[in-house]
Amino acid sequence: MAILSDPPEGPFRLSMLLSDTRYRSLTLQAITALVLALCLAYLYRNISTNLQAQGLSLGFSFLQDPSGYDINQRLVEYTSQSTHARAALVGILNTLLVAVLACITATIFGVIAGVLRLSNNWLVSKLMAFYVEIFRNIPVLIWIIIIFTIMTNVMPTPRAFRGDAATSSMLFDLFAFTNRGVYIPGPGFSNPFFASVGMNWLLVIAVLVGSFFGARAIGTWATKIQEATGDRPTTWYMILGVWLLPVAILLTVMGLTWDIPALKGFNFTGGIKIGGPLIALWFALSIYTGAFIAENVRAGIQAVSKGQTEAAGALGLRPGRIMNLVVLPQALRVIIPPLISQYLNITKNSSLAIAVGYADITATLGGITLNQTGRAIECVLLLMLFYLTASLLISAFMNVYNASIKLKER
């Protein structure tokens, strides 16, 4: 039997700070804190002397000055008279826009490619393997620039749509694909409830959220009936109605109109313009990240053991239900965590917008604003703060979701 003995009592000696395990960690931490403080003080001194030498001082008041530059692609009102802070807001919204769009399309590409790669069709699975390897092994920046170059060089100019001898024509007379971007019909209201356009759309979104909860309530109600009687009432027409009717009524009352792009002079006017840089960035991020997601999806589906499918089949489930009730819930558990980090990667890679001139936060705050005001430290710090917040928020949100689908054991 081991007998633990107390360390020998004795007077405190200085060498015990390093040799005695009771004090050693404290000593080491004190040294670390000291070194860290010295480093920070040294950096602070350098920064302040360097700034003084250039006659600058740290401060964020420059954000209130008029920016003096224009931004083509924007979601909120902005002119060159707006402040730098407003430009940063435009940039933030643009970053979020391209990140959300790319997350959605990358997931679609990735799921299709991942599932097809597991197909027992030899040709299709080889083709998908080719896609995955090609796109994974070439830098995303090259893809962004390639697609942007193709956009600007291969697509027809607006001039090609003009006159009787037009070499290009609009798709269904609704969409125009030009080298400056894609023009699509834009919705508008002839009888809006609010003066501001954004408020009207918020109303539409609010109604859709209401429909979502309505549809969920119908599902719960049907499950309750099923548990009580064994028969599940037919609900699809109710759910369809809950989704479509309220929003249709609202849009009719507000008078939904479509603003169709038309060629006026040298360029298209009307409708919504999706600029070339946005398309290049969106598409490049989607196919690049899609290749990674395809690998995650494949790994996730392969991680579900074959016995699960066979057991479900032995229980008499149909193939569709086997997929929905047995395979997918288990595969998702493997797919979701790497999918989150792919979404984070998309958000971070969207900063490459600066290479093609899409006005995201890196291009506005970290690019033009920085160059115009010379406030390097403040701009870069704000930029990092934004990305850090976005990353932490995404991972926090996804962790909550991940915890909710986690395997719950006894």
Burial 106-138 (b: 16+ CB within 10 A, else e): bbebbbebbebbeeeeeeeeeebbebbeebeee
Quick check: helix, strand or coil at residue 140? helix
177, two tokens: 């694909």
CA pair distance 132, 41, nearest whole angstrom = 48
Nearest Cα neighbor of 289 from 154, 93, 98 is 98
* Residue 47 neighbours by CB distance under 10 Å: 12
Q: Which one, 51 or 174, has the nearer CB to another protein?
A: 51
* CB 387, min distance to another protein, A: 5
* CB 394, min distance to another protein, A: 10
Tell me the CA end-to-end span of the chain in Å, nearest whole number: 37
- Residue in the structure block whose two tokens are 């990140």: 99
Q: Which one, 267 or 395, has the nearer CB to another protein?
A: 395
* CB 99, min distance to another protein, A: 11
Q: Which one, 128 or 242, has the nearer CB to another protein?
A: 128
CA pair distance 98, 104, nearest whole angstrom = 10
Contact residues for 74 (Cβ-Cβ < 8 A; gap 6+): 90, 93, 94, 359
Which residues make up the interface to another protein (CB under 8 A)? 18, 25, 28-29, 32-33, 36, 43, 46-47, 49-51, 53, 116, 119-124, 127, 133-134, 136-142, 145-146, 149, 153, 348-349, 351-352, 354-355, 362, 366, 370, 376-377, 380, 383-384, 387-388, 391-392
Q: Is 275 within 8 Å of 155 (Cβ atoms)?
A: no
* CB 248, min distance to another protein, A: 35
Q: Which one, 145 or 225, has the nearer CB to another protein?
A: 145
**Where are any strands of DSSP class E within 162-202?**
176-178, 181-184, 186-189
* CB 174, min distance to another protein, A: 26
* CB 271, min distance to another protein, A: 29
* Residue 364 neighbours by CB distance under 10 Å: 30
Q: Which one, 158 or 366, has the nearer CB to another protein?
A: 366
* CB 94, min distance to another protein, A: 15
Q: Which one, 77 or 133, has the nearer CB to another protein?
A: 133
* CB 410, min distance to another protein, A: 22
CA pair distance 6, 140, nearest whole angstrom = 61
Q: Which one, 90 or 352, has the nearer CB to another protein?
A: 352
Nearest Cα neighbor of 176 from 205, 155, 199 is 155
What residues are paired with 182 via a beta bridge? 177, 274
Q: Which one, 238 or 355, has the nearer CB to another protein?
A: 355
397, two tokens: 């949100």
Q: Which one, 25 or 81, has the nearer CB to another protein?
A: 25
CA pair distance 6, 354, nearest whole angstrom = 64
* CB 210, min distance to another protein, A: 35
